[in-house]
Amino acid sequence: GNSVTQMEGPVTLSEEAFLTINCTYTATGYPSLFWYVQYPGEGLQLLLKATKADDKGSNKGFEATYRKETTSFHLEKGSVQVSDSAVYFCALSQGGTSYGKLTFGQGTILTVHP
Amino acid sequence: NAGVTQTPKFQVLKTGQSMTLQCAQDMNHNSMYWYRQDPGMGLRLIYYSASEGTTDKGEVPNGYNVSRLNKREFSLRLESAAPSQTSVYFCASRGTGPTNEKLFFGSGTQLSVL
């Protein structure tokens, strides 16, 4: 079956530091890959996505590249802000009518200090 | 534009009690989903409804039932609550057209079963 593994958290950084959150997956075929973010007290929001190998998703300064050879989709940001403090989830789906049937990683808590 | 609305936000039940979690979306989406979020486990799919009049089991359906009341509303029922159902429950709907890969989440229901 499908599975997603994220790096252990929590992650604590100072403002303007570089961020990497690792994500690897196991899936058959060619899944679509997502990063969702959950701010305190809110539901999840789509941050970025990639639907085929070598695609790069980007949004709000965050980037992730779909690497099929390493089955990875690591999230990066060059300079984090306090407002980026949240829980980040890596997820996959098999696409088509299965887009909403996501397999999530366990989530990584990010705290950014001024 | 309210998006996805869930009620209640918090609920405490005793073992064996029943309750229904309500979810409504105002974006005219066809597909709706119920997920549960547990610490260290990410989100797991309970049930989904690909379109009005259809429902299907997800990864963890035991102990739950759902009703797709109409295109807007998708409810989740716990017939006899158990402590293992203590969790945060999220309803989501899937976008259409250019956003058909995106899930729109409600803000969640925090349920405690004593």
Per residue in B8-64, pLDDT (tens digit) is 999 999 999 999 999 999 999 999 999 999 988 889 999 999 999 999 999 999 999
Q: Running DSSP on this structure, what letter comes out for residue B61?
A: -
From B31, B42, B100, residue closest to A106, measured CB to CB: B42
Among chain A residues, CA nearest to B110 = A41
Chain B CB contacts of A89 below 8 Å: 42-43
pLDDT in tens, A59-111: 999 999 999 999 999 999 999 999 999 999 999 998 777 778 999 999 999 99
pLDDT averaged over every residue in chain B: 94
Q: Do A100 and B4 touch (CB under 8 A)?
A: no
C-alpha to C-alpha distance for B63 and B73, rounded to whole angstroms: 20
Q: Which residues of B touch A45 (CB under 8 A)?
A: 105
Q: Are strands A32-38 and A62-65 parallel, antiparallel or unpaired?
A: unpaired
Pairing of strands B56-57, B109-113: unpaired
Helix, strand, or coil (residue B15): coil
Please give the Cα distance from A92 to A66 (Å, whole number). Answer: 11
Q: How confident is the model at residue B101 (pLDDT cuts 50, 70, 90)?
A: confident
> For residue B5, what are its two tokens?
């609305």
Burial of B72 (0-12, 13-18, 19+ CB in 10 A): middle
